[in-house]
Amino acid sequence: MQRENVLSKVLNLLEQQGLATTTLERLAPQLEESVEDIVRYWPDREALIYDSLRYHAQQIDTWRRQLLLDESQTPQQKLLARYEVLAQYVKQLRYPGCLFIAACTIFPEADHPIHQLAEQQKHASHDFTLTLLQELEVDDAVMVADQMELILEGCLSKLMVKRNLNDVETARRLAEDILRIANCRKHGALS
């Protein structure tokens, strides 16, 4: 059993089936593994969910780091790149960021490790946005980052329910609008 292969398959299944109804017994046949084999590495459902989300968080963190270092894109392009990637995943019937939102709902206790992992991902996303906004030297970068993250979280929340690709495009356009307004404010057009 290849750990990363299993975690990747579990992520795909969680994105399609959700966290709430996921059990080891339900996952095992889809992973082509026995429950006994899975339990050797992950003693229960929560351990497997935690490990899968942690693996996914590492993938996202790597993507963010690579994007920050990409000198061929402007900060604005980097801020909007998440919507391009999200659209690609949704076209494949995958809903990656939604898992972290769902995790906070299913594990609402703030001290639960899965909830904490989801919160860390939320903070990392905000820090990514804030870093790029500061690079753009927008006025009140923290508030603009809060606005952009609210749009992203709203998009992810709606994707959990509706699974509609058009919502990604709507969120991207809203994020573009916020960037335009922030740039206008920066240059005194709104004062």
Q: What is the pLDDT of residues 56-86, one digit of tens each?
A: 999 999 999 999 999 999 999 999 999 999 9
Nearest-5° Cα angle at 14, 22 to 21: 25
Domain definitions of the chain by residue range:
3-186
pTM over 0.85: yes
Residue pLDDT, tens place only, 144-165 = 999 999 999 999 999 988 999 9
- Tell me the CATH architecture of domain 3-186: Orthogonal Bundle (1.10)
184 near 190, Cβ under 8 Å? Answer: yes
